[in-house]
């Protein structure tokens, strides 16, 4: 086993025995093999697309397969094995479509040499698949450090973008450009001939395509649930039966709210589901009672002994403690061995077993509300105040903007973001997004003029909102984004953070501070490129970094 795709990788180098996330070596080998299988399918998919052949089922599967391998999604070896076999079926269908179309159109047969992944056939047993997988991951990679690093950045960016594409697809939104890029990039990664320059070009292209992908998801969310607006959210619980929903999938929340309406069960968001309260189409449900707990890495402690049913959507699951395995459910792509999974059948998802468990547990015995916080500052809400914001900056009422956000995690060093936010002067505004905000979003930052000093822009995919805000403000001030009184202080954990960073870089945004550590998969040579071209910096000391930013004005 050799895995280093997340920030918490062992000793900051790589996980070699068992993943810090809880992934065992068999699951790791199978995930590597699934990626290898997807590369093979993408080779024929890219060739087929060159002849105008489109396969919507294959498009969807490529995205789901990539998303399955994102950190903290699927730990179930049997389910991953099933996806490997399906990847083979998809590849064979794409292959036959390509060859048949070639023959029908009397075109010259493809004469190029195809990569080994294009001819891969899965073993019949789970054990056989695990053995095959051991020969397909980083351990089997003999590329030099810089080439390997670039390949990893591209692959992890694809995984992150797949998460956003999957969410959008569930809501009926797709993009031919986004779908096509998955084939293009995966197929390129299958060939040993992919050069450093070629990979760099694809990485920058991925950043641009991901901006469109996040925009697609933004449209899907607002189209189904309305435009986010500032809303107060209670932190705590009400008396009575309860279901806690975690992950990222707002559509799963909508289904759950519909199926529990009038049942007497209160629904609580957890982790990255917090921004749901800002959407009018979700906030209208009276039994969407508030937010429970904090970020994903605290779930073992927060779910321990809680008298509520727990539903995990998409990623962010941790190895569950025995104290709540009987009340934990998964759905979508997220899975853990032995945990009840709610399938998405033709007639839709049925959460009745989750509801039955919530009623059986009877819920919380008394109301405990700690405080209320504000959410819902998406790009529409913030840009509605753009004239006032510009006036406030020109009048020097507001000195600077800080985007402090990204993924949270359990490793030491993340208190930096709390300290930084607390040290930000009172004449500055903090934008935040993703679960990194749980480090400080319950603190009272007050107001500067008419504006709350802390503006929660939403989930990790709502980096799109932050980008829209930055671009709009740069136009209002008549300057480039890098000349705005705006600084980006980002935390990263998994692959969605990678694709967001690539989007920022593709837009030419510089001077980004990232932490708490640099990715283990970035080689010294690649780091040099990032520093020289984009002035990427590693966070150091909160006070020192803040002083440097305010002294330089960026």
C-alpha dihedral sign at 70, 71, 72, 74:
positive
- Which pLDDT tens digit goes with each residue over 368-421? 999 999 999 999 999 999 999 999 999 999 999 999 999 999 888 899 999 999
C-beta of residue 523 within 8 angstroms of C-beta of residue 546: no
| Length of the chain in terms of residues written | 554
Domains of the chain as residue ranges with CATH: 10-140 (1.20.1270.20), 231-371 (3.40.50.2030), 378-552 (3.40.50.2030)
pLDDT at 226: 98
- Which pLDDT tens digit goes with each residue over 126-140? 999 999 999 999 888
pLDDT at 553: 60
- Which pLDDT tens digit goes with each residue over 448-498? 998 999 999 999 989 999 999 999 999 999 999 999 999 999 999 999 999
Scan for tokens 């209160």, then name that residue. Answer: 266
Q: Is the peptide bond before 516 cis (omega within 30 degrees of 0)?
A: yes
Per-residue pLDDT of the chain (554 residues; tens, 9 = 90+): 999 999 999 999 999 999 999 999 999 999 999 999 999 999 999 999 999 999 999 999 999 999 999 999 999 999 999 999 999 999 999 999 999 998 888 766 666 789 999 999 999 999 999 999 999 998 888 889 999 999 999 999 999 999 999 999 999 999 999 999 999 999 999 998 899 999 999 999 999 999 999 999 999 999 999 999 999 999 999 999 999 999 999 999 999 999 999 999 999 999 999 999 999 999 999 999 999 999 999 999 999 999 999 999 998 999 999 999 999 999 999 999 999 999 998 889 999 999 999 999 999 999 999 999 999 999 999 999 999 999 999 999 999 999 999 999 988 889 999 999 999 999 999 999 999 999 999 999 999 998 999 999 999 989 999 999 999 999 999 999 999 999 999 999 999 999 999 999 999 999 999 999 999 999 999 999 999 999 999 999 999 999 999 997 65
The DSSP result for 170-212, as a single string, is HTT---HHHHHHHHHHHHHHHSTT--HHHHHHHHHHHHHHHHH
Predicted TM-score (pTM) of the model is: 0.97
pLDDT at 108: 64
Burial 368-402 (b: 16+ CB within 10 A, else e): eeeeebbbbbbbbbbbeeeeebeebbeeeebbbbb
**348 Cβ contact partners less than 8 Å away, ≥ 6 residues apart:** 255
pLDDT at 483: 95
What six digits make up the tokens of 274?
A: 């917090």
C-beta of residue 536 within 8 angstroms of C-beta of residue 496: no
pLDDT at 141: 82
C-beta of residue 322 within 8 angstroms of C-beta of residue 301: no
CA distances from residue 397 to 393, 403, 424 in whole angstroms, order as listed: 6, 18, 14
pLDDT at 104: 86
pLDDT at 263: 98
First-to-last C-alpha distance (Å) of the chain: 42
Residue 403: which of 358, 343, 463 has the closest Cα?
463
Spatial separation of the C-alpha atoms in residues 290 and 303, rounded to whole Å? 16
pLDDT at 347: 82
pLDDT at 502: 98
**512 Cβ contact partners less than 8 Å away, ≥ 6 residues apart:** 488, 490, 501, 504, 534, 535, 536, 537
pLDDT at 471: 96
* Bridge partners (DSSP) listed for residue 339: none
pLDDT at 107: 65
């Amino acid at each position: 086993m050799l895995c280093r795709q997340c920030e918490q990788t062992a000793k900051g180098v790589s996980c070699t025995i068992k993943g810090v996330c809880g992934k065992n070596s068999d699951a790791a080998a199978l995930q590597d093999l699934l990626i290898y299988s997807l590369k093979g399918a993408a080779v024929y998919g890219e060739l087929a697309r060159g002849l105008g052949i489109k396969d919507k089922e294959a498009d969807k599967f490529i995205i789901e397969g990539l998303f399955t391998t994102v950190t903290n999604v699927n730990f179930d070896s049997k389910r991953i094995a099933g996806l490997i076999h399906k990847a083979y079926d998809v590849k064979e269908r794409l292959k036959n479509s390509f060859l048949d179309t070639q023959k029908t159109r009397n075109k010259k047969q493809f004469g190029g040499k195809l990569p080994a992944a294009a001819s891969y056939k899965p073993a019949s047993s789970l054990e056989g698949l695990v053995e095959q997988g051991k020969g397909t991951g980083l351990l089997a990679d003999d590329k030099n450090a810089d080439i390997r690093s670039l390949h990893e950045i591209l692959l992890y960016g694809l995984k992150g973008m797949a998460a956003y594409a999957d969410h959008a697809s569930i809501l009926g939104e797709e993009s031919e450009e986004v779908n096509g890029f998955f084939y293009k990039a995966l197929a390129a990664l299958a060939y040993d001939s992919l050069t450093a320059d070629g990979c760099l070009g694809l990485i920058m292209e991925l950043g641009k395509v991901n901006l469109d992908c996040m925009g697609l998801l933004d449209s899907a969310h607002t189209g189904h649930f309305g435009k986010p607006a500032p809303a107060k959210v209670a932190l705590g619980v009400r008396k009575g039966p309860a279901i806690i929903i975690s992950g990222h999938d707002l559509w799963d929340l909508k289904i759950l709210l519909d199926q529990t309406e009038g049942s007497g069960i209160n629904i609580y968001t957890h982790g990255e589901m917090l921004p749901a309260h800002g959407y009018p189409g979700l906030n209208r449900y009276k039994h969407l009672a508030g937010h429970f707990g904090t970020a994903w890495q605290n779930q073992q402690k927060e779910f321990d002994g809680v008298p509520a049913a727990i539903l995990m959507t998409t990623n962010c699951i941790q190895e569950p403690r025995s104290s709540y395995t009987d009340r934990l459910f998964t759905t979508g792509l997220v899975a853990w061995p032995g945990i009840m999974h709610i399938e998405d059948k033709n007639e839709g998802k049925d959460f009745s077993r989750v509801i039955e468990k919530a009623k059986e547990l009877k819920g919380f015995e008394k109301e405990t509300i700690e405080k209320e916080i504000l959410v819902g500052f998406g790009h529409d809400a913030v840009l509605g105040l753009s004239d006032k914001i510009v006036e406030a900056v020109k009048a020097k009422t507001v000195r600077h903007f800080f985007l402090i956000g990204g993924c949270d995690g359990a490793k030491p060093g993340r208190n930096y973001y709390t300290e930084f936010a607390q040290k930000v002067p009172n004449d500055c505004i903090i934008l935040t997004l993703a679960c990194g905000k749980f480090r400080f979003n319950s603190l009272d930052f007050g107001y500067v003029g008419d504006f709350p000093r802390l503006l929660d822009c939403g989930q990790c995919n709502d980096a799109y909102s932050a980008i829209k805000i930055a671009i709009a403000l740069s136009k209002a001030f008549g300057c480039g984004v890098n000349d705005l009184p705006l600084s980006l202080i980002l935390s990263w954990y998994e692959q969605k953070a990678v694709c967001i960073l690539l989007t920022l870089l593709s837009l030419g945004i510089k001077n980004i501070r990232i932490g708490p550590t640099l990715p283990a998969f970035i080689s010294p040579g690649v780091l040099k490129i990032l520093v020289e071209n984009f002035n990427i910096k590693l966070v150091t000391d909160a006070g020192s970094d803040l002083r440097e930013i305010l002294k330089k004005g960026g």
